[in-house]
Structure 1
């Protein structure tokens, strides 16, 4: 059974990938799919939303006679990623605490 992925977590995954280097949409999908079962049709609206919020920019680059749209993290996107990472650490710690039966570490 797969655990549902919330929007903030998916945003964080995309922003984290793009914090390493710029990627085009299909490549981002492939990288996310290595860990999370997600379809391309789910990811492209996420990319558009992140761009609309100012966390990503895009540029086109020719590839084999056509253009690929690359996504790039903005400074605001990097700040958002930092916030999501902080939230994730707290959430992960709380879930670990519950799953371990409230045992002291």
Structure 2
């Protein structure tokens, strides 16, 4: 990923994580692996964990501790009603931005 892509991704990563959690509960490494499978190969686990800490502090997710095959219990995150509301706002904002960017792109041709 280039620098521009990395910077843009930082701005939307929280929304991407919320969107993933809207489909199913997940733990940090699972989210990181999914992102990498989707082509975001340069995403560091630490970046995802920072997003998870932030959305947990903001009350957007519920957290349960689940057993791990090895090691300590893992935190499993699931989107709650407040998180769904935040995700809805993210999609509205994303829709607005993509419409305007597409308009600018068309005008520039």
TM-score (norm 1): 0.86
Structure 1 residues 102 and 87 mapped into 2: Cα distance closer, same or farther (>3 Å)? same
Q: Secondary structure at the match of 1:5?
A: helix
Unaligned runs of 5+ in 1: none
| Bigger helix share | 2
In the other structure, the counterpart of 1:89 is 95
Larger fraction in strand = 1
Q: How far apart, CA to CA, are the structure 2 residues paired with 1:65 and 1:41?
A: 20
Q: In the alignment, which residue of structure 2 is the partner of 1:98?
A: 104
- Structure 1 ranges of 4+ moved more than 6 A: none
Query: Residue 42 in 1 paired to residue 28 in 2?
Result: no
How many pairs align?
103
Deviation at 1:56, TM superposition (A): 1.0
Unmatched tracts of structure 2, length 5 or more? none
1:56 aligns with 2:61: yes
* 1:31 to 2:34 alignment: yes
CA 1:8 to 1:57, structure 2 compared with 1: closer, same or farther past 3 Å?
farther
Which of 13, 18, 39 does residue 16 from structure 2 map onto? 13
Query: TM-score with structure 2 length normalisation?
Result: 0.83
